Chains A and B, each alone.
Chain A
Amino acid sequence: MHYHKPQTFEDAIKIAATAQGVTRFLAGGTDVLVQLRAGIVTPDTLIDLKLIPGVRDIVREADGGWTIGIAVSGAELGRHAALVAEWPGVVEGMNLVGSTQVQGRATLAGNLCNGSPAADSVPGLVAAGATVSVVGPNGTRKLAVENIPASPGRTHLQPGEIVAAIHLPPRGVNGGDAYLRFIPRTEMDIAVVGCAISLTLDGDKIATARVALGAVAPKVILVAEAAAALIGTTLDDHAVSALQAAATAAAQPITDRRGTVEFRKDVTAVLAARTARIAYARAKGEAK
């Protein structure tokens, strides 16, 4: 196995372009190293991106949005007061990943590129309308987060492409987001269902909304019908029921060791309602 520590993304791209066999990029390593030790993936080339200048930074952009470096850990994200205040749903999703020790290493970019449909940080990013900068041998492109995952363990990144940064849009006023997941225990578990909702209010009415679901399809999904059920409402019981129906209809879960189809559909409806209420309360400034 060859281990590289490039100082720039350009160098990283060059190394990846000439590498033979299986290549893996290393940020926090909480998936790559675990898979290596378990014998699931043994890379021929391991390219460590942590030493590239700027990848540990969280930067406020001129438009009020944020750029988050690909090696920012969950713990660093959770201690960034301004980011937590604006995007609590994004941060709480990331902070549910693994243990305290894992939080010291795990990253948003890694959680995204691992390609798990149950990735806890991805629904929050999708609901937030986050985008990523992708660099590669054919230049740079910007992609919506929901366009990165393809299927379990796979992404739409081309060979040699690297996620170089994550961008959150400006939160603006009267906005709120939230993420909830269901696990049988209290921590150290994989989402059986995950749901993230981001919305903005015009008075008491929901002006815009995005709803994302995790662990109920081959990838994290953005559910436009669920958002439509919310927009223009005050999150009354009728709107919540419509949200639940749309979310449940969009869910295409499987039965596996973590839950059944029926259970995942039921819990999708439950989490959609609960998440919407938290996001709504946050948008009104009634909850943190």
Chain B
Amino acid sequence: MAKDERTTEFRLIGTRPNRPDGLDKVTGRARYGADMTLPGMLFAAVVRSPHAHARILKIDASAALALEGVKAVVTRADFPTGLTGEDWNLQENSMAGDVALYDGHAVAAVAATSRLLAEDAAKLIKVDYEVLPHVIDVDDAIRPDAPVVRTGAADHSVPAGAPPNVVKCVDFGHGDIEAGFAAADLVREQTYKTEATHQGYIEPHACVAQLGADGKGEMWVCTQGQWYIRRMCAAVLGIDASGLRVTPSEIGGGFGGKTIIFMEPLALALSRKAGGRPVKLVMSRSDVLRATGPTASASMDVKLGMTKDGKLTAAKVNFRMQGGAFLGASPVGEALSCALACYDIPAVQHDGVEVLANRPKAAAYRAPGSPMAAFAVESLLDEMCHELGLDPLDVRLKNAVHEGVKASYGPTYAKIGLVEVLEATKAHPNLLAKLGPNQGRGIASGFWFNHGGETSVSLAIGEDGTVTVSAGTPDIGGSRASLALMVAETLGIEYEAVRVNIVETGALGVNEPSHGSRATFATGKAAVEAARQAIGEMCRRAAKEWGIEEEAVVWKDGAAMPAGPNAGKFPPMTIAEIGAKMGGTGGPISGHHETNAEGVGASFGAHVVDVEVDPETGRTTILRYLVVQDAGRAIHPAYVEGQYQGGAVQGIGWALNEEYVYGANGRLQNAVFLDYRIPVASDLPMIDTVIVEVPNPGHPYGVRGVGETGITPPLPAIANAVAMATGARIRSLPLSPPKVLAAIKAKGRG
């Protein structure tokens, strides 16, 4: 049943009003990162390493600086020294030091009076390199004799004698693993591999930055988190965080890739060197693909034990992931934690390593680590179901986690909705569709933790009773609409009477970015608290005017009113009336709430996909696609469905055609959208969605967060469908036509 047909206890929650940013976006009025222009502004261009690994011997910028209109050139020498840990990683990734670590690594930047001039000047900056041996593939990088990406990068978790590019080791688990496998009727073990993919946001990174010699500056930037940008830039440049004011632009997609800095410190450094003139820096698509965060590539072993009636008895996973040349960039910990999170398994063991390679520093990408882990585990689970002749959906239901079960990654689950999701999946008509020749159906489950995090929200009552919400989480997925709905619901006013602004770093306490599917959950929770605070004050104002006790006033339908006949007989005092006279009743009325939001509720999903594979070319067509996911509560169902569909589509791209293709020289071969093949609209059917609602008790309206779980089941669901359609099981992604055709031919020969 569509949510707009549903009757609920709510007036607005669960309805589908127009999005507040819609008109701006369709008329071109919305201002994105590259849309800002300031007086006296300069334009920047970046010189990038053409080598995967090379010592920088000399940088000669004299010819560039001799050009009329070139105002500044910066190299690593313009940045402070002595940084450590992740601050050093960020600085090194923004601008190479002694060694360029990947194809596309920035080595110098120039600012000039026009973009063309800056680009010409960049070509005149001469860099002498000594090319070093490089390594790209995760399994190659882990070999003891692999070219060493960086020495001394490993953390304390790595035992002595480990291969040189291993920088982190993780292991955890519980239960008696040997006894678990001994209790199984079928034990299977396989190895799986996924390639790095890019978030593929439509808006390239862009900023306009200004920084004076006094260390005070401003930045307009396309980001998921203005405070993260502020802190990271300040650390990299050696200035005070509060000296920098960062305003987020409208954002054209992020998917996790815009939670950290890439070229922003270069724009600030150029501005400082150019006497404080503002500098605009806009990446090209090739810059984005070569030098901003893709996700990690992974090589994964999975071992599962199952009884003949489908009960999982033990599971062991061992993952190897590379996230570029920097410790901590790969999501190996998250991948391990998500790998078995859908299932109640008596004994689990997780081992993983992070490996350095000469590739760009990985950034978060929608449920970081979980899609790869799901590909490995859900593929093997599917294989075992077929081997035992069991229904893959029933097996998932039989092992599904629920409230009170100890999660594979440690904690005990509170109220969760995987069972409800699987039951809704089982009841969906897509499962009754008949399959023809060369067609197959794949099923998989998926999981993401969701996240709370540092959150600060303010809310102010206007003189006419309308309401302004100041939020710190950029709206990448509809959070302005969902915040307005929750605030309007709480205040008892119309949705249109609430305006939500995403504000700059000076306007609120520190907010984490819009990441971890947290904006509607955490910012929403804080906004509801802020609204309740404002309601308290409005009730006090009414009580004062009526001359009754504060406790004798209640808030209902957007107005203060006496709690009952004994409280006194007064007509309701509306929010508009209270706002109109607040100057005379005690001054401005606002609400404010800040928190490390707790009460996060995990979101589980299940996907069912039908494919047809051309047996002569190996090309896969998606025929039908179903997403079923627990939202907790869908505040604005259209946005929730959009998140489900978006996750599925990104997963389809990852499963079928997206990959980073490197030449033998370590250079990225497909740094344009022509050859980095994200799905186009005509590749896709309408993605069917079912919103399951098992409310999260940790949120006033039951929200869990929906942004990320949707990308976790597609990889295995599609691989399982292709295996059924072709009879060939492929254990590495992407399932590109050459690979699928080769597998079909090998099976024919087999």
Binding site for B on A (CB under 8 A): 38-39, 182, 184-190, 192, 256-260, 262-263, 266-267, 270
Contacts and interface: CB of A to CB of B under 8 A. Distances in A.
Given A182-B619, A186-B682, A190-B674, A39 B737 contact: no
A190 to B, nearest CB: 6
A38 B616 CA distance: 36
Most chain A CB atoms below 10 A, which of B286, B669, B674, B745: B674
Most chain B CB atoms below 10 A, which of A186, A190, A256, A259: A186
Contact of B656 (A184, A190, A262, A263): A184
A263 B683 CA distance: 21
B741 A263 contact: yes
Contact of B119 (A39, A189, A192, A270): A39
A257 B677 CA distance: 11
B215 interface: no
Interface string B728-750: 00000000111001100100000
B676 to A, nearest CB: 9
Given A38-B286, A182-B617, A263-B738, 19 more contacts: A39-B119, A184-B619, A184-B656, A184-B657, A185-B679, A185-B683, A188-B674, A188-B680, A189-B674, A189-B677, A190-B675, A192-B737, A257-B669, A259-B737, A263-B618, A263-B737, A263-B742, A267-B617, A270-B617
Contacts of A187: 680, 682
A100 to B, nearest CB: 11
A267 B742 CA distance: 12
Contacts of B738: 259-260, 262-263
Contacts of A256: 669
B742 A186 contact: no
23 contacts: A182-B617, A182-B737, A184-B657, A184-B677, A184-B737, A185-B677, A185-B683, A186-B682, A189-B674, A190-B674, A190-B675, A192-B737, A256-B669, A257-B670, A259-B738, A260-B738, A262-B738, A262-B742, A263-B737, A263-B742, A266-B616, A266-B745, A267-B616
B671 to A, nearest CB: 10
Interface in B661-698: 661, 669-670, 674-675, 677, 679-680, 682-683
Contacts of A184: 619, 656-657, 677, 736-737
Contacts of B618: 263
B45 to A, nearest CB: 11
A199 to B, nearest CB: 22
Interface string B111-122: 000000001000
A245 B103 CA distance: 41
Contacts of A260: 738
Q: Which 3 A-B pairs have the closest CB atoms?
A: A263-B738, A186-B682, A257-B661
Contacts of A258: 675
Contacts of B736: 184
A158 to B, nearest CB: 30
A61 to B, nearest CB: 36
A263 B682 CA distance: 24
Contacts of A185: 657, 677, 679-680, 682-683
Most chain A CB atoms below 10 A, which of B286, B617, B675: B617
Nearest to A270: B616
Most chain A CB atoms below 10 A, which of B657, B682, B738: B738
Contacts of A188: 674, 680
Contacts of B742: 262-263
B680 A186 contact: yes
Interface of B: 119, 286, 616-619, 656-657, 661, 669-670, 674-675, 677, 679-680, 682-683, 736-738, 741-742, 745
A211 B674 CA distance: 27
A132 B308 CA distance: 71
Contacts of B286: 38
- Interface majority SS on B: helix, strand, loop or mixed? loop
B680 to A, nearest CB: 5
B687 to A, nearest CB: 16
Contacts of B670: 257
- Interface majority SS on A: helix, strand, loop or mixed? loop
A256 B618 CA distance: 17
Nearest to B616: A270
B683 A186 contact: yes
A230 B738 CA distance: 28
A39 B737 CA distance: 31
Contacts of A267: 616-617, 741
Contacts of A189: 674, 677
Nearest to B739: A263
Contacts of B119: 39
Contacts of B737: 182, 184, 192, 259, 263
Contacts of B682: 185-187
Most chain B CB atoms below 10 A, which of A256, A257, A262: A257
Contacts of B656: 184
A257 B661 CA distance: 6
Nearest to A266: B741
Contacts of A190: 674-675
A196 to B, nearest CB: 18
Nearest to B669: A257
Nearest to B684: A186
A189 B677 CA distance: 8
B690 to A, nearest CB: 26
A270 B674 CA distance: 24
Contacts of B745: 266
Most chain B CB atoms below 10 A, which of A182, A184, A256, A258: A184
Nearest to A273: B616
Given A262-B742, A263-B741, A257 B675 contact: yes
Contacts of A259: 737-738
A196 B286 CA distance: 33
A259 B683 CA distance: 19
A186 B669 CA distance: 22
A190 B656 CA distance: 17
A62 to B, nearest CB: 41
A185 B674 CA distance: 11
Nearest to B663: A257
Nearest to A193: B617
Nearest to B620: A184
Contacts of B683: 185-186
Contacts of A262: 738, 742
Nearest to B284: A38
A256 B674 CA distance: 14
Nearest to A264: B738
B490 to A, nearest CB: 45
Contacts of B616: 266-267, 270
Contacts of A270: 616-617
A3 B738 CA distance: 44
Contacts of B680: 185-188
Contacts of B661: 257
Contacts of B679: 185
A190 B674 CA distance: 7
Contacts of A266: 616-617, 741, 745
A260 B618 CA distance: 13
A182 B619 CA distance: 9
Nearest to A267: B617
A75 to B, nearest CB: 17
A35 to B, nearest CB: 12
Nearest to B734: A184
A236 to B, nearest CB: 19
A189 to B, nearest CB: 7
Nearest to A188: B680
B403 to A, nearest CB: 43
Nearest to A192: B737
Nearest to B736: A184
B744 to A, nearest CB: 10
A262 B736 CA distance: 14
Nearest to B672: A38
A51 B682 CA distance: 35
Nearest to B668: A257
A183 B156 CA distance: 48
